[in-house]
Amino acid sequence: MNEPKAVPISVQINSPTAPARRRLLTQMIKRVGSNKRSMIGLWIVTLFILIAILAPWISPYNPLEQNMDKLLQSPSLNHPFGTDEYGRDILSRIFYGARISLMVGIVGVIISVFFGVAFGTIAGYFGGKTESLIMRITDIFMAFPGFLLALAIVSVLGPGMMNLMIAIGIFSIPSFTWISRSAVLSIKSKEYIEASRSMGSKHSRIIFKHIIPNSIAPIIVLSTLRIATAILSASGLSFLGMGAQPPSPEWGTMLSTGREFLRTAPHISIVPGVAIMLVVLGFNMLGDGLRDALDPKMKL
């Protein structure tokens, strides 16, 4: 009798499959939906995003149009938030200012995510002297307070929206570098990473197919929280005259010009101040909810 031939059995250990990731995404959405705090934050953020998108259609006036017959008017039916020192409608300027603030925050965080994740992934994956060099440079940047670092960068580059976004992006890179490196260090020792290496996969394939997709959760949470920090920092820099320049309807610039009229027309400063507070609060509440939803220790 002929003995049956042995059939080779190959076992491949892969990262979480697409159905598993969909299940995790569904659970995350349910957790976010069941968290009242995160839902309030989501509604606030969504409202300001819609305002920014629809600003040209919902603004009752041109935000740059001056009317010397309506200087420093208090809130009324024609001007719900009043007018400023040049007779410009504050409501319209708030609507258009949402575009500027959200753009600065989102673009600045995109810059931070791109470079921070790149540096953190390289440091965590390759280790050795490369890791030491990247992390020591990161430590130097983290030794400076974020706002002061952004102020120094804008002082060197000069005031302006583009330089403001670059400064906001640079001062947030160290945070993303650290969080990305920590996530990579916990993932690169997993079985599916070792299996991928043993099968001869290139470093680039391992990084882009396994490392980054499975370390994205903390990056999402930090990004949401950092948008709030970026908007607050951008408003502070504009308040100091280092960001958006008049007559741009940026909220920090509106605060700066309105401080001269706090006694006679306090609404000029109160309205943009409340707008900054609400959008920052919304992103912070949403970030806290996402952190709870993406925490594997949390149960539905």
Rounded distance between C-alpha atoms, residue 182 and residue 43, angstroms: 31
Considering only CA atoms, which of 133, 98, 96, 138 is closest in space to residue 116? 138
Structure-token pair, residue 86:
């040049």
**Residue 89, beta-bridge partner list:** 83
pLDDT of 249-280, one tens digit each?
999 999 988 888 888 899 999 999 999 999 99
H or E element that contains 99:
helix 90-126
Cis amide prior to 247 (ω within 30 degrees): yes
Q: What is the CATH number of domain 34-49+90-294?
A: 1.10.3720.10
Rounded distance between C-alpha atoms, residue 155 and residue 112, angstroms: 19
Q: Which residue has the tokens 């309205």?
A: 271
pLDDT of 198-253, one tens digit each?
787 787 888 888 888 888 888 988 999 999 999 999 999 999 888 888 888 999 99
The sign of the dihedral angle between the CA atoms of 145, 148, 154, 159 is positive
State residue 75 phi and psi, 5-degree precision: -55, 135
pTM of this prediction? 0.85
State residue 81 phi and psi, 5-degree precision: -110, 10
Q: Which residue has the tokens 């600003």?
A: 55
